[in-house]
Amino acid sequence: MRRPLIGITTAYNPPRDERDIPRYVSYTRVAENVAAAGGLPVLIPSTVDDETLRALYDRLDGVLLPGGGDIDSKHWGEELHPKAYGLDPARDHTEITLARWAVADDRPLFGICRGHQVVNVALGAAMYQDIPSQYESELSHANFLPTPRDFRAHVIGINDGSRLAQIIGQVNAVSVNSIHHQAIKQPAPGMVAVAYSPDGLIEATEMPGKRFALTVQWHPEDLSADESQFNLFKTFVAASAGA
């Protein structure tokens, strides 16, 4: 298989004071899993202009939007919740733009956690900005540090016959990690919800008829010792290679 070029978006960390420098930041395990699956990971800077972004995108075989901070609620027309944190306007713009381009061009697109949310927001979905205050649930979705990132916080159920079910190879009692306090309220137009947590929150969406347009709320890069989770990266990379 030809090794496809996979673009992975980055967060922008502005300088904290006059002696600091701005940085692009990316979680290493995402790129490592893309490489292990046969892809060539390329980090996408989040502050470039749209012309530069388009030129970079045109050279990519697939786009991966990873986890990160919250999305500004202006993108679905709501006032910002006081519990929102980690806003990154440049990253919002870059990822929403890339998601729309990838869907329009049928370029393989994989969203993880924040990326799951961004893809749906880009295509017209709204969000719960803070699950504990906006959605009644007895589950703990926000298992941040010091909880290990590979801690299996709860199970999900996957729709039988979905692309996700084919990749994971299981539909019931699939245990996942959970490191988020926001969630999409409904899938965006064209996307289909294909997995749910026991409290009814959407855990995955996909777009039927596309080569690969799939998003998951959990972090498979931290569970990739499990072959069924690593299969998400393998299938995405294979689709990006034209397989």
117: phi then psi, degrees, rounded to nearest 5: -70, -45
Burial of 17 per CB tally in 10 Å (0-12, 13-18, 19+): exposed
End-to-end CA distance of the chain: 8
Long-range contacts of 49-55 (CB under 8 A, 24+ apart): 50/97, 53/94, 53/97, 53/98, 54/101
> Which residue in this structure is represented by tokens 């870059």?
94
For residue 238, give the 3-state DSSP assignment.
Answer: helix
Backbone CA torsion sign across 63, 101, 92, 119:
negative
Among the listed residues 87, 67, 58, the one whose alpha carbon sits nearest the alpha carbon of residue 143: 67
Give the count of alpha carbons within 13 A of 154, CB side only: 22
Q: Say which of 95, 113, 141, 206 is annotated catalytic.
A: 113
Note if 18 is an active site residue: no
Q: Say which of 138, 154, 219, 227 is annotated catalytic.
A: 219
Note if 136 is an active site residue: no
Residue type, 76: W
For residue 8, give the 3-state DSSP assignment.
Answer: strand
Note if 219 is an active site residue: yes
Q: Which residues are catalytic?
A: 113, 219, 221
